[in-house]
Amino acid sequence: MLLFVYTALSEPLRAYLRQHLPPGVEAVFRTELPESGQQAAFRRAELLLGNPPAHWFDEQLPALRFWQIDSSGFEPYCHLRPTFPVANMGDYFAWPCAETIVAGILALYRNIPELAVLQSRQQWVGQPVRATMRLMLGKQVIILGAGSIGLAVREQLGGFRCRVQLLARTNPAAQLHSREELLAALPSADLVINCLPGTAPGFFSRELIEAMPAGSVYASVGRGTTTDEPALIAALQSGHLGGAVLDVTAVEPLPADNPLWTMPNVLLTQHSAGGQPHEDDGKGEMLLRNLGHLLAGEPLENVVDLSRGY
């Protein structure tokens, strides 16, 4: 069987995969092919690792038997209706994403960005900075989304005795299940953390942003397209919101003329939240496990329904 690896992997990891693939599986790596031959190899493949351009699926792929997506999100592919099983990385990135967004919020509350700038200038201010410090302790928090990232965020906030409500349409563990319930809860929220997938474009609208209380903080680690970014910028510029921590933005990389770059009350983490040591090794191990399950006729890990978005 031919495995086409779209993911750009290091040479040692490519060698590792070749050594550990099940018997009868041969790997072809996109990064080892000329550009002119990459789609041809993709069309011949029976197995696939990675996230190729969505238009590569416009043609019929009668040979493809299994697709291992190398991310948790897969919004570009939600229009596809594959006849073969598809799996993603499940909760592999959830804890790192939660750590980043919680760390960013703490940094904003504790004025770490300003202190880092002062350090770079060798400028000791000390006492006046103390008066600007805020606490995470006991904050009223709304987390948008009750998936693996949202649950990891909630778990990490437990150490700060935060009072957390989750928003999710159908998850019985959530406290909020509709936009109307969210709108009613927002005026008492100190902090809103958006963990929504890209299948909810524009969900956090101007109306919802304006319903947040003065001085509250907004954070986003889901997809930038789920936030009304112009409305968010306006709320930050006016002082209505006390700050924002954004791992994701509507356009990435963030354009140089976007005002988010220069706002002192905004911390940008540049879609780095899922980063972790040996990140690509985990993708390879997930592929190997699922290939073993596939060939043994066993249930696959992290199977997703593209049409439903999860």
pLDDT tens by residue, the chain, 310 residues: 999 999 999 999 999 999 999 999 999 999 999 999 999 999 999 999 999 999 999 999 999 999 999 999 999 999 999 999 999 999 999 999 999 999 999 999 999 999 999 999 999 999 999 999 999 999 999 999 999 999 999 999 999 999 999 999 999 999 999 999 999 999 999 999 999 998 899 999 999 999 999 999 999 999 999 999 999 999 999 999 999 999 999 999 999 999 999 999 999 999 999 999 999 999 999 999 999 999 999 999 999 999 888 7
- Determine whether 293 is an active site residue: no
Q: Which of 18, 271, 293, 308 is catalytic?
A: 271
Q: Which residues contact 181 (CB under 8 A, 6 or more apart)?
A: 167
Would residue 177 show up in a list of annotated catalytic residues for this protein?
no
Residue 303 DSSP SS3: strand
Q: What is the CA radius of gyration of the chain?
A: 22
List the catalytic residue out of 223, 240, 289, 308. 223
Q: Which residues contact residue 160 at a Cβ distance below 8 angstroms, ignoring those fewer than 6 apart? A: 136, 137, 138, 139
Q: Domains along the chain?
A: 2-92+276-296 (3.40.50.720), 94-268 (3.40.50.720)
Spatial distance between the Cα atoms of 263 and 211, rounded to a whole number of angstroms: 22
Contact partners, residue 185, CB within 8 Å, separation at least 6: 142, 165, 176
| pLDDT at res. 199 | 87
How far apart, in whole angstroms, are the C-alpha atoms of residue 114 and residue 248? Answer: 21
pLDDT score, position 310: 79
- Residue 147's pLDDT is what? 93
Residue 111 neighbours by CB under 8 Å, 6+ apart: 129, 132, 133
For residue 170, the 8-state DSSP code is S
* DSSP calls for 214-259: TT-EEEE-S-GGGB-HHHHHHHHHHTSS-EEEES--SSSSPPTT-G
